[in-house]
Structure 1
Amino acid sequence: MKKIKLSFDKFKDSTIYLNSSKSESNRLLIIKALSEKEITIKNLSKANDSVLLKNLLESENLVVWDAQDAGTSFRFLTSFLAIKKEHVVLSGTERMKQRPVKVLVDALNKIGAEILYLENEGFPPIYVKGKINQVKNKLDIPGDISSQYISSLILIAPLLEKGIEINIEEPFYSRPYVNMTLNLMNSFGIKSAVKGNKISIKNQEFSSGSYIVESDWSAASYWYSILSISDNINNLTLQGLKKKSNQGDSVISELMKSFGVNTQYKEDGIVLTKIKLDTEEIELDFRDCPDLAQTILVVAAYHKIKLKVSGVESLKIKETDRLVAMKNELKKIGCDFYEEGNYWILEKRRREIDDELSIDTYKDHRMAMAFAPLASKKSMIINDPDVVVKSYPTYWEDLKKVGFIIT
């Protein structure tokens, strides 16, 4: 297995040009593929997931669509293929075959799709036998499994003859991601009605237009972590981020105030600066921003802050079971992380972090990027570092620009 040694030398450059948002890019790619009008996407993400989705959507006459390890792409393609294709297979990696799709497939079949499972009931791979012949337009969807199911259905709603009305059952996790989908669709003329947890979209056409993808707030979280942990970096400038953002992970700017980082908004990005940190214990709910949980856990572990977290159920069905992975790796730096009722508890770090710490990444990009900031204090080994290509291909190169050494 490939591995890298990561350490910090001396501070170099404070300006980082972040990768574009994978979440916005993937939704826009589906919108473009569904629309019959001219749609231009500028600043498209170079994340592997987005490149893969773009290549699949631009391929002609595919019978087997391989989403590899891209969970968002798989879920969006499930609905896309159900309305656009017939007699096609959608598959992925062995890990993808362990990630459930039953809620989404059941919903699509209820409105008139004909999707079958090729191996295990409720899991990929799936066979899309024919295009949707719509028989109903009202659905009840649980809101606590994956918001991507909801976004997947919303994206194809304008093409459905009878439109769609979705009632999202409480608790409703990752609501900002659903709002992002609705906002991006609205940018191309699609009107929706939202009342509480009910979303209604009528049959209508996308309009032509262009969209500039914002930089990735999820990627920004690792730079917040670096500034919080490092003694050698006092400020950082992150380009391409907006105060008024579609991305739910922009809440990192508020969360990190408790961990010693302030955010100042500029016309072309943000400036991060250190502020006093006096937090000893904090309770956080990640239901709207689960991708930030790993970052925050590592920062809290370093600063010996006790955390009580909720809203992390979806982490069990990501690239790996992220809760188990975090429990294993946090133990290596002297922190217990365990489930207690409806919460997960991170106890204060008991000891100093070992030199030459070795972190396993579990084929999960966010494991690698969440733990890497610790290298600003202690040299460490990252196993299977190439996993970052999934969402932030230039992560290691960007670390070198500010003063990290990679060997």
Structure 2
Amino acid sequence: MRDPLLLRAPRGPIRATLRPPGSKSLSNRALLFAAMADGTSEVIGCLDAEDTQLMLDCLVAMGLVVTRVGSTLAEGVRVTGVGAGLGRSVGDLDLEVGTAGTVARFLTAALAAAPAPSWESVFLDGSERMRERPMGGLLEALRGLGADIGYKDAQHTLPLRIRPVAGGLPGGTVTLDRPASSQFVSALIFAGSSSREGVDIVLREGTPARPYVDMTMATLAAFGGSARWVSSGEHQGPGERLRVEPRALRPCTRFVVEPDASAASYFLALAAIYGGEVTIPDLGSESLQGDAQFWRVLAAFGAEGEQDRERTTVRGGGGGLRGQTLDLTDMPDMTLTAAVVALFAEGPTQIRGVEILRHHESDRLAAGATELRKLGAEVRELDDGLEIHPPAGGLRRGVVIDTYRDHRMAMAFALVGDVGIADPGCVAKTFPEYFEVLDGLGMIAPEPELESASQSEEGDDDAAD
């Protein structure tokens, strides 16, 4: 196994303008809607990473024509869709989704609703961790709408088999209490647009990370589809209701993907922690991503921030941060970034509303708590979040952070500096160049420092035992 990658704290304030790669969430939504449209769409700024490549590999396996405009996906990718039937391949298809929740859930729903496809059945499988992640609420909802989905090993998990329904998915109304993931709701939007009657989604207790659902609806609209939240006057009963209209999708000649707001959070947090100023261009107040508002969380901690239609900027003085009580229901992926910022704040920080993080690439609440404690913090793990008391005597240095094969664990804890990051390659899932960017900011330790720190890490590990 590769040695941990050692990072160091910046030698001074961070002053940079940085544009992260394209949003993974927008990229995979646009690629799949493009495949469901009748004609050729072009997606500009597409993320070029594992999760998007898995989506593209599945589309190619289904017989769709996918071409790159340049040497990278970011320069543009053209998808020639064949309508809601999704694909030209015949017979049985085997699709691999890896650890990509968007691919697993969105493809399952789109395939289950595909009318008159050329294929006979699809077998869909993923990584060991993806087999553990929740699918049951989505699968039962799809079956309730008329889908033909079977299971190979255990019910409600991958691997599974999808067969087309004669005449297409009927559609109708599906009721969920509070889904384990907002991706369930987004997946049902994919299915509803291809169904015969459309789909009404009733959410008795709302949905976590609702901005991601709004993102799906906005992306659908770019391809000529229609989904809307039903007003309280129209919806009689508890919770919220979302209506997805059945509609043939049309190609989008130029769909531009914004920079990934989740990735941007790490660089904005650097300015808050170490001082300086970081600007993210092309990520502004009209962003479709809920995480684009993370600058407000940093401002609550004590940094300065501003956002206009074109950019987001955070400034920090390298100190003076104060612990906060945060409800991150609408931006759960910001939890680990906020938790690391909390290490540098005065007083405790409490993060609530993020219970869905237990079902991501890792159990991010349990994993995050473990690694925060390694650094000397006192952490109380809550059902839906974390309570963090920063170490009174300062952070422990030379600690190796275990990343649990989770890209967000690696990227967030790298901000601490003077730590080792185990399995740094896991960032390839959404941001392969992440550590190259940090290297450009002077945060990758040179080789002699790495050797010295490795020796001190061994001593720390023995003491901890």
When normalised by structure 2's length, the TM-score is: 0.82
The CA RMSD over aligned residues, in Å, is: 2.1
Q: Is the 8 A contact 2:277 2:316 kept in 1?
A: yes
Q: Is the 8 A contact 1:86 1:131 kept in 2?
A: no
CA gap 1:240/1:136 in 2 versus in 1, 3 angstroms: closer
Q: Select 1:103's aligned residue among 121, 137, 144.
A: 137
2:80 paired residue number? none
Higher RCO, 1 vs 2 (CA within 8 Å, ≥6 residues apart):
1
CA deviation after TM superposition for structure 1 residue 341, in Å: 6.4
Identity of aligned residues (%): 30
User: Are 1:397 and 2:436 counterparts?
Assistant: yes
Q: Is the 8 A contact 2:109 2:142 kept in 1?
A: yes
CA deviation after TM superposition for structure 1 residue 339, in Å: 3.4
Find the structure with the greater CA-based Rg: 2
CA distance in 1, matches of 2:308, 2:293: 17
CA distance in 2, matches of 1:94, 1:340: 26
User: Are 1:228 and 2:228 counterparts?
Assistant: no
Aligned residues: 402
1:165 match: secondary structure:
strand
2:297 match: secondary structure:
helix
Q: Is the 8 A contact 1:18 1:239 kept in 2?
A: no
Q: Select 1:36's aligned residue among 17, 35, 38.
A: 38
2:7 paired residue number? 6
Deviation string, structure 1 residues 208-243 (Cα, Å, up to 9, x no partner) = 32211000110011012211222xx51122232122
User: Are 1:71 and 2:101 counterparts?
Assistant: yes
2:125 paired residue number? 91
Q: Select 2:157's aligned residue among 123, 139, 148.
A: 123
CA deviation after TM superposition for structure 1 residue 281, in Å: 3.8
1:78 match: secondary structure:
helix
CA gap 1:294/1:274 in 2 versus in 1, 3 angstroms: same
CA distance in 2, matches of 1:267, 1:245: 8
CA distance in 1, matches of 2:244, 2:284: 28
Q: Is the 8 A contact 1:4 1:385 kept in 2?
A: yes
Structure 1 residue runs of 5 or longer lacking an equivalent are none
1:405 match: secondary structure:
coil
CA gap 1:83/1:343 in 2 versus in 1, 3 angstroms: closer
1:368 paired residue number? 410
CA deviation after TM superposition for structure 1 residue 278, in Å: 5.1
AA of the residue aligned to 2:396: D
Q: Is the 8 A contact 2:193 2:244 kept in 1?
A: yes
AA of the residue aligned to 2:23: S
Q: Is the 8 A contact 2:178 2:207 kept in 1?
A: yes
CA distance in 2, matches of 1:86, 1:311: 42
CA distance in 2, matches of 1:119, 1:350: 49
CA gap 1:124/1:341 in 2 versus in 1, 3 angstroms: closer
CA distance in 1, matches of 2:309, 2:228: 32
1:46 paired residue number? 48
1:201 paired residue number? 244
When normalised by structure 1's length, the TM-score is: 0.93
AA of the residue aligned to 2:349: L
CA distance in 2, matches of 1:36, 1:57: 14
Q: Is the 8 A contact 2:281 2:311 kept in 1?
A: yes
Deviation string, structure 1 residues 97-120 (Cα, Å, up to 9, x no partner) = 111211111111111111111111
Structure 2 residue runs of 5 or longer lacking an equivalent are 64-88, 232-239, 448-465
User: Are 1:185 and 2:220 counterparts?
Assistant: yes
Q: Select 1:388's aligned residue among 427, 431, 447.
A: 427
1:324 match: secondary structure:
helix
Q: Is the 8 A contact 2:366 2:381 kept in 1?
A: no
